[in-house]
């Protein structure tokens, strides 16, 4: 797959295809790690994984959906 590199201020941007972002469950606010594999001259981008061993994933997803649905109200309450 070939992608173009775009310039934004002092950074470069590469758009991820939707099928890749969907497969990795990435959205606009997702965090990723970026590493340079010097031996292979490759850039490696991976979703940031956090330790959730003691968190119920169904509950975590419900909380995330709640926050997404009520973000404006939650931000107003936080002020």
Q: Domain map of the chain by residue range?
A: 6-78
What is the CA angle 5-7-10, rounded to 5?
Answer: 130
Q: Considering the chain, what is the average pLDDT of its residues?
A: 90
pLDDT of residue 61: 86
Q: How far is CA 66 from the centre of its chain?
A: 18
What proportion of the chain, given as a percentage, has pLDDT over 70?
95
Per residue in 47-77, pLDDT (tens digit) is: 987 666 677 878 888 999 999 999 999 999 9
Q: Which of 64, 74, 77, 73 is nearest to 29 (CA)?
A: 64
């Amino acid at each position: 797959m070939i992608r173009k590199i775009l310039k934004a201020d002092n950074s470069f941007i590469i758009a991820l295809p939707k099928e890749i972002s969907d497969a990795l469950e990435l959205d606009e606010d997702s965090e990723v790690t970026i590493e340079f594999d010097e031996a292979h001259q490759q850039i490696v981008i991976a979703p940031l994984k956090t330790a959730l061993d003691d968190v119920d994933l169904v509950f975590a997803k419900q909380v995330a959906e709640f926050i997404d649905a009520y973000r404006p109200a939650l931000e107003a309450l936080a002020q």
